[in-house]
Structure 1
Amino acid sequence: MDHVIDTDWSVKSLAEALSESTLLREGEMTARVLEGTDPVLQITMNEFGDLPIFLSVGSEQIVVSALLWPVDEQDNQAAFNVFLLKAQKLVPLSNFGITTVSERDYYEIFGELSCKTTLQTVVIELRMLAENAIRAADELRQNFASAA
């Protein structure tokens, strides 16, 4: 059973814990801290085509996210947005949003966890988010194109 831990995670403590963990398969993922006003952990999911996942830690939650594709490259954006919101419940443990990077909007998939969760739960979330990102980029876009 997964128990809540007493100490909140930070980006740096999660990076250290992931690098020392026996929960990961050899070469499954690599993590590095990106320093800034608020540090972010960039996790490269090697088993998912080197998919980059970004992890940030706030006062109460851990947020993991992956960029999908630029919004302006999506055909029929309004209809796709409705389709995406309806498909939301088919993608376990993840949500969709739009985020701006360098003045360009991107579809994003993300999940949130309590800062007091176990490392095992963080690893499960990272794996699930990577799987969902790949599925979203492939299956959701194909299903939308065939429904349109």
Structure 2
Amino acid sequence: MIQRGHQKKKSTFQQVSLISCIIYSTALSFVISSVAVTWNMLYNSIFEFWEVRQAHRTRTFLRRAIHSIGFEGGLTLILLPIVALWLDISWWAALLMNIGLFAFFFIYSFVFHWAFDKIFDVPHSAKEAHGPK
């Protein structure tokens, strides 16, 4: 028998709980995004500082892969304690959660920086030095 018009309504407690979960998750997302943006600026500055001192500055596939692994690996290490403490889970559980994100964002970071360099040209640190002949 199908009952119509008798939908079970959520209790006020369930509604408040859902809202607090959304706020809690949103706050964590904001923290993660803020850390990621800060790490991006710091990491790229360090990478370009290193890159400009290399004999060969061309951004090869290997150099781009190293850049992406370094960026995502560093971000994972920075976020690991934050996520573990925020969600009150073990560091191991936080690492397992981050591995999926790491894999996705590794590819995203690699493609994004490659496309950015193609559209806007590579920074000075990636251009070959041409001295007097």
TM-score under structure 2 normalisation? 0.30
Q: Whose relative contact order is higher, 1 or 2, with alpha carbons under 8 Å and at least 6 apart?
A: 2
| Structure 1 or 2: more helix by fraction | 2
TM, length-normalised to structure 1:
0.27
